[in-house]
Amino acid sequence: MNSFINRKSRILFFSPIIFIFGVFRIVQLYLIQKPTIKGAPDHIVVRTAAPHMHKNYFRIFNENMDSSKFIYIDCFNKHQFTKIKKLSCWSIYREFYLTYKELMPAIARLKKEEGRHSIAYEAMTTLPIFSYFTCLLQELKKENAQIKLFSGGADLISSAAILSKIETYMLSHGLFHSPTLMSGKLIKPDPSKYNILLPKFNFIYLYSNDEVMFYKDHGISSKLCLYPYKKLNRLHKKIIIFTNPEDHQMNYHDLSELINLFKKYSYEIIVKFHPLYKGSFEKEFLKDRNIKIINDGDATALKLMLEEKPSFVAGWHSTTLCEAHLLGIAPICIEQPPADSKYQFVYQFHKKSINWLESKKRLDESLANNIDTFEMLKHS
């Protein structure tokens, strides 16, 4: 079987459409430019459609939120990123043309079942934006050679930064799923058969050692770092339950059963709704005066755990359970099997959290006898 490189290029009938669309988009971006930034700060922070994906930047690199140290780039908002610097139309076009010339033969070698049409469409919509980002970042680097870019994994602008030789950080905003094929089919991770396609970030920050080892096994060359956590002391008789964004992702019966168990042992019950929560569970909980409701979108799970110092945290397959474990808080996973096969995590929830369905009786006995429940995890 011939390698991808040795394949013959097919005629790509839609390549003129990709080119014409790209030129039109470049002109549009050029015309709406209204530069507002003088000079270039040390850091670029990339914002995406999700409002929480960049917040780890402030936790690790700018705890005081010093506004003189960084600028935002909203990578999906052309009316924002075109107001940073004035770029020449010719420089954007030249970058677009060079990338177009390299990319089209590669797409033409793809087979239909390898997603040739979807990749061609993706190229049509992203190539002009990528070219603009590349020119913008090169301009910022001219003004500050030490500039760095931080994102929650925005691949397009991160790739433009890497091409521009800017130090680039990927700050994971959550645990990542096992990889899938382009068809969406879940695969068994096998470094001898599959590659993980990621921009070559200088640094990748992750939540768990499971993820670090997974990336190492798959040959990721970025420097892999763990977010820092310190074990909490003097935990209080509280449990915080963190919800999913939608009701259908949770089971109200299990949730009620869990709450009733901890009420039996006089624990303070706190329910923190997901920042994107849309559902009716809140109305049910509001009827119960013994449950404290937190519906503040700006209150991160980590901040809440550090403030409340609960003995337990409960939720579904969520980064919050991993963070609780790292803080020395006993995590309870309420996820009902089978989990959605498309969204299996690399993080080993079954080893690092108490499974509610399997261990509720054992948990009841531990609470009744005042046993250190976190110790259950070490022997599970």
Quick one: tokens of 152? 């929650």
Decide if 231 is inside a domain: no
- Is 49 in the same domain as 193? yes
Q: What is the pLDDT of residue 105?
A: 85
Once rounded to an integer, what is the mean pLDDT over residues 129-135? Answer: 97
Q: Residues 208, 244: one domain? A: no
Q: Are residues 171 and 196 in the same domain?
A: yes
Q: Write down the pLDDT at residue 195.
A: 67
Q: Tell whether 270 and 297 lie within a shared domain.
A: yes
How many domains, the chain?
A: 2
Look at residues 226, 249, 277 and tell me which one is the last residue of a structural domain: 226
Tell me what percent of the chain is helix, strand and coil, each rounded to the nearest 5. 40, 15, 40
Structural domain ending residue among the three candidates 198, 226, 254: 226
pTM value is 0.86
Continuous H helices in 279-327:
281-286, 301-308, 319-327
**pLDDT tens digits, one per residue of 149-172:** 999 888 999 999 999 999 999 999
Answer whether residue 122 is part of any domain. yes
Q: Are residues 65 and 195 in the same domain?
A: yes
| pLDDT tens digits, one per residue of 12-45 | 677 889 999 999 999 999 999 999 888 899 999 9
Is the bond preceding 338 in cis, omega lying within 30 degrees of 0? yes
Please check whether residues 57 and 189 belong to one and the same domain: yes
Tell me, yes or no, whether 40 and 163 share the same domain: yes
What rounded mean pLDDT belongs to the chain?
85
Same domain, 66 and 108: yes
Cβ burial, residue 266 (10 Å; 0-12/13-18/19+): exposed
Q: Please identify, among 165, 191, 226, the residue that sits at the C-terminal boundary of a domain.
A: 226
Q: Is residue 6 part of a domain?
A: no
Q: Are residues 252 and 325 in the same domain?
A: yes
Q: Which residue has the higher pLDDT, 361 or 281?
A: 361
352 part of a folded domain: yes
Give the residue with greater pLDDT, 114 vs 143.
143
DSSP per-residue string spanning 43-109: EEEEE-SSTTTTTHHHHHT-TT--GGGEEEEETT-HHHHTTS----HHHHHHHHHHHHHHHHHHHHH
Q: Is residue 4 part of a domain?
A: no
Instruction: Tell me, yes or no, whether 209 and 255 share the same domain.
Output: no
User: By the 8 A CB rule, do 331 and 321 touch?
Assistant: yes
Domain that residue 120 falls in: 15-226
Q: Give the pLDDT band (50/70/90) at residue 2.
A: very low
**Residue 9 belongs to some domain of the structure:** no
Does residue 262 share a domain with residue 169?
no
349 or 327: which carries more pLDDT confidence?
327
Q: Is the pLDDT of residue 69 over 80?
A: yes
Query: What is the distance between the alpha carbons of residues 312 and 332, in angstroms, rounded to a whole number?
Result: 7
| DSSP class per residue in 101-157 | HHHHHHHHHS-GGGTHHHHHHHHHHHHHHHHHHHHHHHHHHHH-TT-EEEESS-HHH
Residue 98 falls inside a structural domain: yes
Q: CA-CA distance, 212 to 218, in Å (whole number)?
A: 10
**Residue 62 and residue 178 in one domain:** yes
10 lies in some domain: no
